[in-house]
Chain A
């Protein structure tokens, strides 16, 4: 992290959530947005249209695979995680953990200062 001057703090959140949720099962856009809302208890509500550029960027990078699937008479594009995407998820989780640990440490320091 030391060399990274501009960590994609909130920018990386949709990607992290998308990768994490798609690890569980294949989903289409609307399904995924609903899953994010549910998994985060409504704390994170993604701009729903913006999910698609995120999905397509990950697909173009080989992290996701997309396939058409007919469900209840409607054809949807389902996204799933590729092995490369799984590696990306691990890397993102590590980065996120380091970031949250760093922030938590910082917050604890502030708390300590406050009690002195």
Chain B
């Protein structure tokens, strides 16, 4: 890696630490890197190469410390996740999980209703839906949130315990969801929905409860194994 690239990487790190949204910090340093390349090309056309060209290009771009100050003073964009991790992770992500499960469930019900309306699917599928099996199907997507939480924390240079905290809240909330019963409306009769909270203990821990407890941690654990150590602070 060229020395200027290393300096830009340091600048990017410092901008993210200061709260600039990671995506924007990456864009700033990419623009500076491109500009540096353009300057080197311009200098090469003027027969200035090697160390002289690098030094001149850096002088023309300005000291990175000054640039950092200028960027942070003038750019109003700040990351919500970096500023309020206590809101974003233990509260925001569980809400996102609830939304994800609900949307998946409603989508699946809508699809089944549609299939039944055109004579496909049949009663068996419909019964499976109203008995709430598809809540579990919706929950199959929850591990993605663990991955998203881990990636977000890494991207924002946040401590590892924030995504873990989110996974814990999602696991407890999901594990407590004992049963969901939905009855779609039929002509002459209103539909209904019911949530039961509790752990299924009658014949051991129910596989669905177990999945709901464990799934938020799965991708997070994978993420912990994979993550580059220098990107996450403790």
Point out residues on A near B: beta carbons under 8 Å.
Answer: 28-30, 33, 47-50, 52-54, 56-57, 60, 74, 76-77
Could you tell me if B75 and A60 are in contact, using CB atoms closer than 8 angstroms? Answer: yes
Closest to B58 in A: A49
Which of B60, B61, B74 contacts A53 (CB under 8 A)? B74
Number of A-B contacts (CB under 8 A): 58
A60 to B94 Cα, complex, angstroms: 30
CB-CB nearest in chain A for B73: A53
Interface bin, chain B: 20 to 34
B71 and A56 contact, CB distance less than 8 A: yes
Task: Please tell me if B227 contacts chain A, counting CB pairs below 8 Å.
Answer: no
CB distance A53 to B35 under 8 Å?
Answer: no
Beta-carbon contact of A77 and B31 below 8 Å: yes
Q: Which of B40-68 contact A (CB under 8 A)?
A: 60-62, 64, 66-67
Q: List 6 A-B contacts (CB under 8 A).
A: A30-B38, A48-B62, A52-B67, A56-B28, A56-B74, A56-B77
- The distance in angstroms between the C-alpha atoms of A45 and B38, with both chains bound, is 16
CA of A49 to CA of B57 in the docked complex: distance in angstroms? 10
The residue that A77 contacts in the complex, of B27, B62, B76, with Cβ under 8 A, is B27
The 4 closest A-B pairs by CB, nearest first: A49-B62, A30-B38, A49-B61, A53-B74
Cβ-defined contact, A54 with B74, below 8 A = yes
Contact with B70, one of A48, A53, A74, A77 (Cβ below 8 angstroms): A53
B39 sits at the interface (CB 8 A): yes
- Whether the Cβ atoms of A29 and B75 lie closer than 8 Å is no
Asked whether, in the complex, the Cβ of B75 is within 8 Å of the Cβ of A49, the reply is no
